[in-house]
Structure 1
Amino acid sequence: MLHLTLRHIATHRSRFALTLLAVVLGVTFVAGSLVLTDTSQKLFEDQFRTATAGVDLTVRDAAAFDSAMGVEVERDPLPAGVVDRVLAVDGVDAVAASAAGQGLLELDGEPLVPAGSSLLSSWSPAPFGAFEIRTGHEPTADGEVVLDVATAETYGIAVGDEITVRADAAETLEVVGLAGFGAEDGLADTTMALVPLPTAQRLLDLGDQVTQVEVVAADGVTPTALQTAVGAELGTGYDVATAQDTVAAGAAAAASKVSMIRVMLLAMAGAALLVGGFLIANTFAIVISQRSRELALLRAAGATARQLRRSVLGEALVVGVVGAVLGTGLGVLAGYGLRGMARGFGIALPDGGLVVTPRTLLVSVGIGVVVTVLSAVGPARKAARVAPVEAMRESGVVPPSRRRTVLGWVAAVVAVAAVGSTLLGADITVVAVGAVAALVALTLLGPVLAPRLARLVGRPLDAAGMTGRLARESAARAPRRTAATTTALAIGLTLITFMTVLGQSVKATTAETYQEVVTADLVIESARSEMLGGLSHDVHHAVEDVPEVGVVSRMRYGHWRDAGATSALTAIDPATLGEVAEVDMVAGSLADLADGGIVLGAQKAAERGLEVGDTLTMTFARTGETDLQVVGLVDDGDAQALATGYLISMDTYAEHFTEDVDASLLVRLADGVDAAAGEEAVAEALAAFPTAEVQDLAAAVAARSGAVDQILGMVTVLLLLAVVIALLGITNTLALSIVERTREIGLLRAIGMSRRQVRWMVRWEAVLVAALAVLVGVALGAGLGAATVRALSGAEPVPVIWPVGRLLLVVAFATAAGLLAGMLPARRASRMDVLSAVAAQ
Structure 2
Amino acid sequence: MRKVSLRNIAAHKLRLALTVLAVVLGTAFISGAFMFTNSLDSTFKSAVSSAYDGVDAVVTSGEDQPGISASLRADIASDAKVNDVNVTASQSVVMANEQEEPFQVGGGTSTLSIWYAPDHVVGAQHTIVDGEEPTRADEIALNRLGAENFGISVGDRLLVVDPQDRHEMTVTGIYDQELDARNSLTAYMPEDAYLERYTLEGTTESLIVSAAEGTSDEELVAHLSDTYEGIEVETGDALAEKITEAMSQALSFVNYFLIAFGLVALLVGTFLIANTFSMIVAQRTREFALLRALGAARQQITRSVVFEAFIVGVIGSALGVLVGIGLVAGIKGVMASQGLDLPDSGLGLSTSAMLVPVLLGTLVTIVSAWIPARRAGEVKPVEAMRSSEGSTDQPLMIRTVIGALLMAVGAGAALAGALLDGSSTTTRAVLVGIGAFGVIVGFFFAGPAMSLPIVPTLGRIVGAPFGAIGRLAATNSRRNPRRTAATAFALTLGVALVTAIGMLGDTMKASISDVVENNVSADFVLSGPTNSGFPTPAGTPDAVRDVEGVDRVLTMSTAPVYVDGAASQAMGPHSMTMVIDGDVSEMALTEVTEGTSDLAGTPGVLATTEFAAQQGWELGDTLELTAPGLSPETREIEVVGLFEPNNMIQNMVISQESVDGMLPPGALVVNMVGVNSDGSVSEDQLRSNLEEAIQGLIVVQVMSTEEMAGQAGQAIDMMLNILYALLALAVIIAVLGIVNTLTLGVIERRQEIGMLRAVGSQRRQVRTMITLEAVQIAVFGAVMGILVGLGLGWAFLEVLRDQGLDSLSVPWGQLLWMLAGSGVVGVFAAIWPANRAAKTPPLDAISD
Task: Give 1:178's match in structure 2, choosing from 174, 181, 201.
Answer: 174
Task: Give 1:704's match in structure 2, choosing from 701, 709, 712.
Answer: 712
State the Cα deviation string for residues 693-751 of structure 1 (Å, max 9, x = none).
11122211211121222212221222112111100100001111111111111122222
1:226 matched to 2:234:
no
Q: How far 1:287 moved relative to its partner?
A: 0.7
Q: How far 1:318 moved relative to its partner?
A: 1.6
State the Cα deviation string for residues 231-283 of structure 1 (Å, max 9, x = none).
23333x33424323443555567778777755543333222221111111111
Written as runs of structure 1 = structure 2, the 5 A alignment for 1:480-559 is: 480-531=482-533, 534-546=535-547, 548-556=549-557
Written as runs of structure 1 = structure 2, the 5 A alignment for 1:768-783 is: 768-783=776-791
- Structure 2: distance between partners of 1:268 and 1:506: 22
CA contact (8 A) 2:70 2:201 kept: no
1:181 aligned partner, one-letter code: Q
- Structure 2: distance between partners of 1:309 and 1:601: 69
Aligned residues: 818
In angstroms, what is the RMSD of aligned CA positions? 3.9
Q: Secondary structure at the match of 2:68?
A: coil
Q: Secondary structure at the match of 2:756?
A: helix
1:579 matched to 2:572:
no
- Structure 2: distance between partners of 1:757 and 1:742: 15
1:148 alignment counterpart: 143
Written as runs of structure 1 = structure 2, the 5 A alignment for 1:126-525 is: 126-140=121-135, 144-167=139-162, 168=164, 172-182=168-178, 184=179, 186-187=180-181, 189-204=183-198, 207-210=201-204, 212-218=206-212, 221-235=215-229, 237-248=230-241, 250=243, 262-335=255-328, 337-338=330-331, 353=345, 354-389=347-382, 393=386, 394=388, 395-400=390-395, 402-421=397-416, 422-423=418-419, 425=421, 427-460=428-461, 461-525=463-527
- Structure 2: distance between partners of 1:222 and 1:8: 70
Does the C-alpha gap of structure 1 residues 277 and 558 become closer, same or farther in structure 2, counting only changes over 3 Å? Answer: farther
2:113 alignment counterpart: 121
Written as runs of structure 1 = structure 2, the 5 A alignment for 1:582-597 is: 582-584=589-591
Task: Give 2:678's match in structure 1, choosing from 661, 670, 678.
Answer: 670
Does the C-alpha gap of structure 1 residues 249 and 386 become closer, same or farther in structure 2, counting only changes over 3 Å? Answer: same
State the Cα deviation string for residues 618-647 of structure 1 (Å, max 9, x = none).
9987699x99999998766x22x44x5676
- Structure 2: distance between partners of 1:294 and 1:563: 69
- Give the gaps of 5 or more residues in structure 1: 65-74
State the Cα deviation string for residues 777-831 of structure 1 (Å, max 9, x = none).
1111122222222221139983432322221111111111111101111111111
Q: How far 1:12 moved relative to its partner?
A: 1.4
- Structure 2: distance between partners of 1:358 and 1:400: 46
Q: Secondary structure at the match of 2:522?
A: coil
2:748 aligned partner, one-letter code: E
1:34 aligned partner, one-letter code: F
- Structure 1: distance between partners of 2:522 and 2:464: 60
Larger mean Cα displacement after TM superposition, 105-114 or 808-817: 105-114
Does the C-alpha gap of structure 1 residues 311 and 411 become closer, same or farther in structure 2, counting only changes over 3 Å? Answer: same
2:556 aligned partner, one-letter code: M
CA contact (8 A) 2:526 2:673 kept: yes
1:61 alignment counterpart: 61
CA contact (8 A) 1:573 1:649 kept: yes
Q: How far 1:558 moved relative to its partner?
A: 7.1
- Structure 2: distance between partners of 1:832 and 1:818: 21
CA contact (8 A) 2:500 2:789 kept: yes
- Structure 1: distance between partners of 2:655 and 2:380: 79
Larger mean Cα displacement after TM superposition, 23-32 or 807-816: 23-32
- Structure 1: distance between partners of 2:731 and 2:340: 28
1:751 aligned partner, one-letter code: V
Q: What TM-score comes out, normalization by structure 2 length?
A: 0.86
- Structure 2: distance between partners of 1:285 and 1:628: 74
Q: How far 1:591 moved relative to its partner?
A: 7.1
Identity %: 31
2:532 aligned partner, one-letter code: E
2:317 aligned partner, one-letter code: A
Q: Secondary structure at the match of 2:802?
A: coil
Written as runs of structure 1 = structure 2, the 5 A alignment for 1:9-24 is: 9-24=9-24
Does the C-alpha gap of structure 1 residues 753 and 291 become closer, same or farther in structure 2, counting only changes over 3 Å? Answer: same
Q: How far 1:62 moved relative to its partner?
A: 3.8
- Structure 1: distance between partners of 2:196 and 2:573: 34
Larger mean Cα displacement after TM superposition, 813-822 or 249-258: 249-258
- Structure 2: distance between partners of 1:601 and 1:754: 78
Does the C-alpha gap of structure 1 residues 472 and 647 become closer, same or farther in structure 2, counting only changes over 3 Å? Answer: farther
- Structure 1: distance between partners of 2:627 and 2:749: 70
1:736 alignment counterpart: 744
Written as runs of structure 1 = structure 2, the 5 A alignment for 1:571-650 is: 571-573=578-580, 575-584=582-591, 599=607, 638-639=646-647, 641-642=648-649
1:82 alignment counterpart: 72
Larger mean Cα displacement after TM superposition, 476-485 or 23-32: 23-32
Does the C-alpha gap of structure 1 residues 9 and 629 become closer, same or farther in structure 2, counting only changes over 3 Å? Answer: farther
CA contact (8 A) 2:555 2:674 kept: yes
2:669 alignment counterpart: 661
Q: How far 1:316 moved relative to its partner?
A: 1.6
Does the C-alpha gap of structure 1 residues 405 and 169 become closer, same or farther in structure 2, counting only changes over 3 Å? Answer: closer
- Structure 1: distance between partners of 2:408 and 2:336: 43
Larger mean Cα displacement after TM superposition, 402-411 or 78-87: 78-87
Q: Secondary structure at the match of 1:672?
A: coil
1:818 matched to 2:826:
yes
Q: Secondary structure at the match of 1:105?
A: strand
Larger mean Cα displacement after TM superposition, 695-704 or 417-426: 417-426
- Structure 1: distance between partners of 2:411 and 2:642: 36
Does the C-alpha gap of structure 1 residues 775 and 672 become closer, same or farther in structure 2, counting only changes over 3 Å? Answer: same
Q: Secondary structure at the match of 1:794?
A: helix
Larger mean Cα displacement after TM superposition, 283-292 or 464-473: 464-473
CA contact (8 A) 1:428 1:788 kept: yes
1:70 alignment counterpart: none
Does the C-alpha gap of structure 1 residues 173 and 672 become closer, same or farther in structure 2, counting only changes over 3 Å? Answer: closer
1:835 alignment counterpart: 843
Q: What TM-score comes out, normalization by structure 1 length?
A: 0.87
CA contact (8 A) 1:419 1:434 kept: yes
Q: How far 1:769 moved relative to its partner?
A: 0.3
2:563 alignment counterpart: none
CA contact (8 A) 1:589 1:631 kept: yes
Does the C-alpha gap of structure 1 residues 384 and 352 become closer, same or farther in structure 2, counting only changes over 3 Å? Answer: same
Larger mean Cα displacement after TM superposition, 284-293 or 668-677: 668-677
- Structure 2: distance between partners of 1:150 and 1:798: 47
- Give the gaps of 5 or more residues in structure 2: 561-566
Q: How far 1:155 moved relative to its partner?
A: 2.4
Written as runs of structure 1 = structure 2, the 5 A alignment for 1:730-769 is: 730-769=738-777
Q: Secondary structure at the match of 1:832?
A: coil
2:142 aligned partner, one-letter code: L
- Structure 1: distance between partners of 2:624 and 2:39: 40
- Structure 2: distance between partners of 1:813 and 1:567: 47
Larger mean Cα displacement after TM superposition, 506-515 or 53-62: 53-62
CA contact (8 A) 2:183 2:339 kept: no
CA contact (8 A) 2:128 2:173 kept: yes
Q: Secondary structure at the match of 2:556?
A: strand
- Structure 1: distance between partners of 2:63 and 2:351: 36
1:714 alignment counterpart: 722
CA contact (8 A) 1:83 1:96 kept: no
- Structure 2: distance between partners of 1:386 and 1:632: 81
- Structure 2: distance between partners of 1:563 and 1:309: 60
1:110 alignment counterpart: 100
Q: How far 1:95 moved relative to its partner?
A: 2.7
